[in-house]
Amino acid sequence: MAASLRCFLRSGKNTVSALQRRDFHRSAPAAVQMTVRDALNQAMDEELERDERVFLLGEEVAQYDGAYKVSRGLWKKYGDKRIIDTPISEINVLLQAGLRPICEFMTFNFSMQAIDQIINSAAKTYYMSAGLQSVPIVFRGPNGASAGVAAQHSQCFAAWYGHCPGLKVVSPWNSEDAKGLLKSAIRDENPVVVLENELLYGVPFEMSEEAQSKDFTIPIGKAKIERQGNSITLVAHSRYVGHCLDAAAVLAKEGIECEVINLRTIRPMDVETIETSVMKTNHLVTVEGGWPQFGIGAEICARIMEGPAFNYLDSPVTRVTGVDIPMPYAKILEDHSLPQVKDIIFSVKKTLNI
């Protein structure tokens, strides 16, 4: 058992004062540290090289190296044809017949301007045409809250896109997730929404030797158990997986062993992994950054209730979510409108009736 070194992740893209490191069992000597940003960059670089039908378009992805520098260096390497700067036109969601575009949204908040195309032209087309017209497109960009960017730039769209048949929706947490899921998304024949997180871009994580390979992909639709435990199941996606692990570390000192599940994919959701876990731990807390109504946690609750795991629950499921308000600007308010580690700890104890 490797000892884990943990610090708490401070919010704010310019003030990452600590790093979070997970040590794997028998960590491979060739494992390296890589930020999520670099992992995404590597994923796109490898896929651009592998298939010349793949190309990237979005605002500032080329000469600016990407608004958040995720596409840094790609324009220099691949040129104007493969990396395209678009005007401020979210309807840069264009149907590229026979090509495999990666459409970057500067943030998913702007995707609402193009959401008609994502749903009505991308998601539904394969079905409406009964298989005649497939749409191998990737929509990616930062999703959810950042730091101090206020109400119109902080919304989480996991539930919005997760609602629609015909779309696949993934939400990576660490660098391996980011690389593996983005590569799978690019190789997928269907429209895939990749919900990244801006606060995670600069965070380094360990990349195993396997993950460094050019063919490393993570299957879409499969969750990962990041930490085993017996007392209670925590399910989260994206940034809050980290929060759950932090909470688990604190709770472990009190003898509460949390099983932490990283959803990785929002749609199709891997309910089986959650069910198996709940059948073992008998308690469930879901954690997400989005609003509570009709959200990821709500869906998990419904699915658990409909399946075999319901009979194993010793108490109702608790959802930890963003507060049901537009995101405020003032730091103290912003901090209190999103799940914090203490909220997760509180919910665990409440669920366990401790």
Partner 1 sequence: MKTMLAIISNALCRMTGRNAGAQTVSEGARVVVSRSFADFTPQATFDIKKCDLHRLEEGPPVKAELTREQGLQYYRTMQTVRRMELKADQLYKQKIIRGFCHLYDGQEACAAGIEAAINPSDHLITAYRAHGYTYTRGVSVKEILAELTGRRGGVAKGKGGSMHMYAPHFYGGNGIVGAQVPLGAGIALACQYQGNNQVCVTLYGDGAANQGQLFESYNMAALWKLPCIFICENNKYGMGTSVERAAASTDYYKRGDFIPGLRVDGMDVLCVREATQFAADHCRAGKGPIIMELQTYRYHGHSMSDPGVSYRTREEIQEVRSKSDPISMLKERMLSHNMASVEEFKEIDIEIRKQVEEATQFATSDPEPPLEELCNHIFSKNPPLEMSK
Binding residues (CB under 8 A) for partner 1: these are 55, 81, 86-87, 89, 91-99, 116-117, 120-121, 125-134, 136, 165-166, 168, 189-190, 268, 303, 306
Q: Given 46, 90, 259, 299, which residue is catalytic? A: 90
Q: How far is the CB of 11 from partner 1 (least distance, A)?
A: 35
Give 94 or 249: the residue with its C-beta nearer to partner 1. 94
Q: How far is the CB of 220 from partner 1 (least distance, A)?
A: 9
Q: How far is the CB of 183 from partner 1 (least distance, A)?
A: 16
Q: What angle do the packed helices 271-281 and 296-306 form, to 10 degrees?
A: 70
180 and 216 in contact (C-beta within 8 Å)?
yes
Q: How far is the CB of 138 from partner 1 (least distance, A)?
A: 14
Give 116 or 254: the residue with its C-beta nearer to partner 1. 116
Q: Given 153, 163, 257, 272, which residue is catalytic? A: 153
Q: Which of 329, 303, 11, 354 is nearest to 162 (CA)?
A: 303
Helix (H, G, I), strand (E, B) or coil at 82: helix
Q: Which of 186, 180, 183 is nearest to 55 (CA)?
A: 186
- What DSSP line would sit under 218-286, residue for residue? --TT--EEEE--SSEEEEE-THHHHHHHHHHHHHHTTT--EEEEE--EEETT-HHHHHHHHHHHS-EEE
Determine whether 157 is exposed, middle or buried from the number of CB atoms within 10 Å of its CB (0-12, 13-18, 19+). Answer: buried
Is 283 one of the annotated active-site residues of the chain?
Answer: no
Is 60 one of the annotated active-site residues of the chain?
Answer: no
Give 96 or 340: the residue with its C-beta nearer to partner 1. 96
Helix (H, G, I), strand (E, B) or coil at 338: coil
Give 116 or 210: the residue with its C-beta nearer to partner 1. 116
Q: What positions carry a catalytic annotation?
A: 90, 153
